[in-house]
Structure 1
Amino acid sequence: MASTPRTNAYFRSLYLQDPNFRALAARDPHFRAILKPNGQLDFTDPAAVKQLTKTLLEADFGLKIELPDDRLCPPVPNRHNYILWLKSLLDSSSYNDPGGKLSGLDIGTGASCIYPLLGCAQRPWSFIATDIDEESLEHARANVALNDLQSRIKVVAREQTDPLIPLDDLGVDRIDFLMTNPPFYQSEGEMLKSAAKKSRPPHSACTGAPVEMVCEGGEALFVARILEESLLLKGRVQWYTAMFGMISSLETMVDKIRERGIDNYAVTEFVQGNKTRRWALAWSFGPMRPSQDACRGIKATPWRKILPMIVETELTKFPIEQGVSDKGKSLSALVGGLDMISWEWDAELLRGTGRARENVWSRAWRRKRKREELAGDSAVSDKVERSEICVFGFSLAISVKMTEAVVECRWREGHDEAIYTSFCGFIKTRFQASI
């Protein structure tokens, strides 16, 4: 149905504005049949909501889907936002070019199997999709087959008492990410009480069964179970992620991962119009750090306390009249003169990436090397030279903005914030001295 090329830019442009219902109706007779004469959609009608989901999936992603009447009908823009964030998280926490063949796990995939379908429509990913509800599993398998994705999406039945991350049960060594959109509520009573508190009817009809809406302990305890399993699996999953319906759950889980000494994590907020807000958390035991947009995606001041460490810093500025290309050469020479594991500078893009075995720019390092040289301790010196263990990875870039150029540093790899801060200070001081 869609004629626009489905590039990454195309997917990122989706749903920045509300869908044009009249345009959708002109392309899809099934949607036209449920649209009101005034061009509005009755969001309190489950059939209308279901058809909107089906129409958007086919129009924007080339996906076909069938949904039962008694299971959740997933809102496409909200689910798409989660996939977009995952792509940003994975792309920015790797030195490799984005868009590779990655493997993921969707815990609680539901009848729609929407996250694996959306992921496979946008990237050459593969998925394990799990659920405990037999009816949902039956429909999920049918939707995978409807899109001929059986070779990339494996739907797996689980029991309530099984581990949530079934790597060992399935004989899987590692995966790149896991995702989950767990049930919000701790009990059916809590779910009904929440609905009764609302002063108006819900904006959109909800057809979810209790198995999809309720779990013991609610969403926070569900994700806490994943956290406990992650402490055993660690790097066998690069990124553990979860979406929440309540920001209090996010705050609780950030406290828990900090208590367990996990320093590499990300938080974000998904906003769809003025009506729906969701929040997400990711954590990793690895050293690769995502971009600032991916890891610090909550802007509201009251929630700054749960944000992870800053990973992008503006170091200094200079007038472009001083020669951007020459300053790029100076910056490259400054870093190239250090005892790095690697340093590569692209003179055309004015951007470089480096990796260091420790803070080799510090006075302490220089004194250490001086002592080794004076003592003639070549064995120790050679051992340091041969070390390929990276404790700090970074990118430096010069970007031109109007009449000035800006030097920026991005923390790419490592766990020690003090090393990142020290490096930024070193580059800023030495580079400014050359201006």
Structure 2
Amino acid sequence: MCNPPFFESTEDMLSSAKAKKKPPFTACTGSKSEMMTAGGEVAFVMRMIDESLMLKSRVRWFTSMLGKRSSLAVIQSKLGEVGIENFAITEFIQGSKTKRWAIAWSFDDWRPSFSVARGLQKVQKSSLPFPPEFYFLSTNDKFTVGERVNEILSKLCLDWQWDTQILAGIGFSDKDVWSRAARRQNKSSVIIISNRDEKAFGFKIQVQEASKEELCARMTIRWLKGHDKILFESFCGMMKRECSK
């Protein structure tokens, strides 16, 4: 992970130190070139983003730590401007007390998990990446829901594998194969099992027993692969409707 120079000047560094509620536990040992750069960490990471546009999928994930939470929104805006929608943000404690933030972005279409993509607490949902998980509850037991899930997806023209022991399955498709129009069009289609890296959409479904406060079963749909969030939302809507019948 890149650890960029956080500040743009000595004044910026001193101002940041004064804003902290408690003094640092250790003295700063970084050199001027390590701590400061023109434009501070925002400009530094923006240059990283510009350079990543040349490398793209040759690097799976680009990552950088940040010293200021306020930098996240500016950098997220930059990602949106250049068309990067697959990203993750988080916060963590470096050492014993120092809070830091981090942002990661990718040109690939393999999606990070919910906890990785949305690792930031106490923030507006609009500032977070699109949620890669969807769940709903059922009054049926988990085995009945699992059977229904496998029944629905086994009829579709997609690469689908279901494990009855753990009530979980993984599926991949090249496009929407579940809408009414797509099902009519695909009646005579043959499922071609190809490299999953080449598929446009991938998902994982897990059926579990719900908690005591909820109903009988909980189904979680995890977005594994794809750039099209509307496709993921469409799939989740279809599964909820079909499993509720």
TM over 0.5: yes
Q: How does 1:349-364 map to 2 (within 5 A)?
A: 349-364=166-181
1:313 to partner: Cα distance: 0.8
Q: CA 1:225/1:346 → structure 2, altered by over 3 Å: closer, same or farther?
A: same
Q: How does 1:180-219 map to 2 (within 5 A)?
A: 180-195=2-17, 201-219=23-41
- Whichever of the two has the greater Rg, that structure is 1
Counterpart of 1:394 (choices 203, 207, 225) is 203
2:224 aligned with 1:415? no
Q: Confirm or deny: 8 A CA contact 2:156 2:183 kept in the other structure.
A: no
Shift of 1:319: 4.3
Higher mean C-alpha deviation, range 265-274 or range 406-415: 265-274
User: Could you tell me which amino acid in structure 2 is paired with residue 332 of structure 1?
Assistant: N
**Cα distance, 1:327 vs structure 2:** 3.0
Aligned partner (choices 99, 108, 122) of residue 300 of structure 1? 122
**Distance change (3 Å), C-alpha of 1:180 and 1:234:** same
Counterpart of 1:365 in structure 2 is 182
User: CA separation in 1, counterparts of 2:221 and 2:20?
Assistant: 47
Contiguous gaps of at least 5 residues in structure 2: none
Which structure 1 residue ranges, 5 or more long, are not aligned?
1-178, 374-380
Seen in structure 2, the aligned counterparts of structure 1 residues 386 and 210 have a Cα distance that, compared at 3 Å, is same
Does the alignment pair 1:317 with 2:135?
Answer: no
Structure-1 residue corresponding to 2:165: 348
Query: Does structure 1 conserve the Cα–Cα contact (< 8 Å) formed by 2:145 and 2:217?
Result: no
Contact 1:251–1:306, Cα closer than 8 Å, also in 2 = yes
Residue 84 of structure 2, aligned match among 246, 252, 262: 262
1:338 aligned to 2:149?
no
Helix, strand or coil: the match of 1:393?
strand
The TM-score with structure 1 as length reference comes to 0.51
Output the CA distance in 2 between the equivalents of 1:393 and 1:333: 18
Q: Residues 101-250 of structure 1 correspond to what in structure 2 (within 5 A)?
A: 179-195=1-17, 201-250=23-72
TM-aligned CA deviation for residue 401 of structure 1 = 2.8
Q: C-alpha displacement at 1:288, in angstroms?
A: 0.2
2-structure distance, mates of 1:427, 1:197: 49
Equivalenced residues, count: 239
Report the CA distance shift for 1:328/1:198 in structure 2 as closer, same or farther (over 3 A). closer
More helix by share: 1
1:69-96: CA deviation from partner (whole Å, max 9, x where unpaired): xxxxxxxxxxxxxxxxxxxxxxxxxxxx
Deviation, structure 1 residue 386: 4.4
Note the C-alpha offset of 1:363: 1.4
- CA drift of 1:260 comes to 0.8
SS of the counterpart of 1:314?
strand
**Structure 2 vs 1, CA of residues 315 and 193 (structure 1 numbering), >3 Å: closer, same or farther?**
closer
Deviation for aligned residue 1:240: 0.5
Aligned residue identity for 1:339:
C
Q: Deviations over 1:257-310 (max 9, x none)?
A: 011111111111114699432111111111100000000111213x43321111
Q: 1:200, 1:405 → 2: CA distance?
A: 47
1:430 — aligned with what? 242
The verdict on how the C-alpha distance between 1:335 and 1:189 changes in structure 2, with shifts beyond 3 A counting, is same
Aligned-pair CA distance for 1:225: 1.1
Aligned-residue offset at 1:241: 0.7
1:185 and 1:225 mapped to 2: Cα distance?
15
1:36 alignment counterpart:
none
Identity over aligned residues, as a percent? 41
CA distance in 2, matches of 1:205, 1:344: 55
1:65-84 alignment to 2 at 5 Å? none
Contact map agreement 1:264 1:284 (CA 8 A) in 2:
yes
2:6 and 2:41 in contact (8 A); partners too: yes
Query: What TM-score, normalized to structure 2?
Result: 0.88
Q: Which has the higher contact order (CA 8 A, sep 6+)?
A: 2
**Aligned partners of 1:316 and 1:432 also within 8 Å:** no
Alpha-carbon distance in structure 1 between the residues aligned to 2:27 and 2:75: 29
Q: Is the 8 A contact 1:316 1:428 kept in 2?
A: no
**Residues 402-411 or 349-358, more deviating:** 402-411
Residue 218 of structure 2 corresponds to 406
Residue 247 of structure 1 deviates from its aligned partner by 1.2
Find the residue that maps to 1:315 and give its secondary structure.
strand
Conserved 8 A contact 1:271-1:277: yes
Contact 1:316 1:408 in 2 (8 A): no
Preserved contact between residue 247 and residue 279 of structure 1 (Cα < 8 Å): yes
